[in-house]
Amino acid sequence: MAQHILETDGLVCPFPVVEAKAAMAEMPAGDELVIHFDCTQGTEAIPRWAAENGYPVTDFTKRGAAEWSITVQKA
Amino acid sequence: MLISGLIIGAALGFVLQRGRFCVTGAFRDIWIAKNTWWLSAFFVAIAVQSVGVWVLDALGVITLSASDFPWLATILGGFIFGFGIVLAGGCATGTYYRAAEGLVGSWFALLFYALFASISKYGPLGSTTEALRGITVEGQGTLHETFNVSPWLLVALLVVGTTLWARHHITKPRLKFATLPPEKTGLAHVLFEKAWNPFVTAAVVGLIAIAAWPASWATGRESGLGITTPSANIATYLTTGDVELVDWGVFLVLGIFVGSLIAALGSGEFKLRVPDAQTIVRSIAGGALMGVGAAWAGGCTIGNALVGTSTFSWQGWVSLVVMILGTGVAAKLFIAPRKKTAAPAQVPAGV
């Protein structure tokens, strides 16, 4: 199992989810994707995208003012 | 009491920012995520407001009057607006609250939106706007006039339909969303941290939209929430000094900015965010298209899609549909992942 980092700071929604989807498609099952994002709406959109696709979220933290990190596993 | 505009605007801005209420996102999701989760929440706001405005009308607090339906301007303007909001990354209210969160791209979108709304209403494009809006279907301003039914029948249909639709989304396999670990407690947690339920947020937006009617009416501005004309008025006031333009609506949009700024600062979600050159260019183009489109259509996602729909105006419903179509076309053209060079770096687990 490996972790992949996706840097999306500076991208506004829906691009963090669009990029996460593309990154997920190329990852083997079981790997984790760490998404760094600073689009406020992403705090709602990314967990919802993960839930709708049945991907477990193993970590979700606020890195700082308007900066978050979420780790989603490809199940 | 112009100040009531500031208060209602601030409440709206606060709720939009905290609830992540984004009409552009709701329209975009239909095409990109292929779901109507947020659209059904948006309809909750329309339905709640619809009940309220028709009760206010029945009580004589406000008087909803019918007008002609400027069909051509509504279709063209609505499509252009829907296309523009994808480029700008948010509709009119979305752009106000993102600007208050410190998104520099939204500052550009907002400036060009207000400027082009002013150009299209009061400036060199004013006569074009007037000519387009002069092409109407007479005496058919509203759905209840056309179908010759009581507006209350439409209110009932809207409420029942929306309830079933929202219930479908709320009760179908109940999804468990990941949430951030709380750092605040009590009221501070609820107001400045907790992830709000979209359907509750939408209902509150509907209530604020109801309150806007009598508050605005009392100042002589006989309408509900509206963003485009007030934004055009600000731009025009700033360049002409014409104080007549500073009405309740101007205070409303200033309030939206203040309310979302308070929400963003209070929840630690304010940060100056400067996007890349392409995003800035798109924000400028999107803002300009939004200004022209909303002026032609006679409203934006708020004035037409939220307020006009609740009063059952054809302008409101037709522009809602063509805005969604415009959003779909722009989403197909512009929403794609970055080039392969930005692929995620691979690191071994545990490092």
Q: Quick check: ipTM above 0.95?
A: no
Q: Which of residues 46-75 of A touch B (CB under 8 A)?
A: 47-52, 57, 60-62, 64-68, 70
Mean pLDDT, 10 residues at a time, chain B of 351 residues = 95 97 95 93 98 98 91 98 96 95 97 98 97 93 95 98 94 82 93 94 98 97 96 98 97 98 97 94 98 97 97 97 98 84 51 42
The amino acid that residue A43 corresponds to is T
Is residue B16 within 8 A of residue B82, CB to CB? The reply is: no
Tell me the chain A residues in contact with residue B30 when contact means C-beta distances shorter than 8 Å. Answer: none
pTM of the model: 0.94
Q: Classify burial at B331, counting beta carbons within 10 Å of its beta carbon; exposed 0-12, middle 13-18, buried 19 or more.
A: buried
Domain boundaries, chain B: 3-175+184-332
Strand A67-73: give its sheet, edge to edge: A57-64, A67-73, A32-37, A2-7, B345-348
Neighbouring CB atoms inside 10 A of B34's CB total 7
Contact with chain A for residue B277, Cβ under 8 A:
no
Q: Is A13 tagged catalytic?
A: yes
Give the residue on A whose Cα is nearest the Cα of B88: A12
Contacts for B27 with CB less than 8 Å, ≥ 6 apart: B39, B82, B85, B301, B323, B324, B327, B328
Task: Give residue B347's pLDDT.
Answer: 56
Tell me the chain A residues in contact with residue B21 when contact means C-beta distances shorter than 8 Å. Answer: none
Is B346 close to A41, i.e. CB distance below 8 A? Answer: no
Distance between A10 CA and the closest CA of chain B, angstroms: 5
Q: Which of A65, A42, A64 is nearest to B265 (CA)?
A: A65
Task: Give residue A39's pLDDT.
Answer: 93
Contact with chain B for residue A25, Cβ under 8 A:
no
Task: Give residue B342's pLDDT.
Answer: 45
Is B270 close to A32, i.e. CB distance below 8 A? Answer: no
Task: Give residue A20's pLDDT.
Answer: 95
Task: Mutation target for A interface from B197, B271, B274, B339: give the one with most A CBs within 10 A.
Answer: B271
Q: Tell me the β-bridge partners of B142.
A: B313
Distance, in Å, from the CA atom of B263 to the CA atom of B204, rounded to the nearest integer, reads: 16
pLDDT < 50 regions, chain A: none
Distance, in Å, from the CA atom of A62 to the CA atom of B115, rounded to the nearest integer, reads: 36
Distance, in Å, from the CA atom of B320 to the CA atom of B300, rounded to the nearest integer, reads: 9
Task: Give residue B344's pLDDT.
Answer: 52
Among A10, A21, A40, beta carbon nearest to B269: A40
First to last CA, chain A: 12
Is A12 close to B32, i.e. CB distance below 8 A? Answer: no
Is B181 close to A61, i.e. CB distance below 8 A? Answer: yes
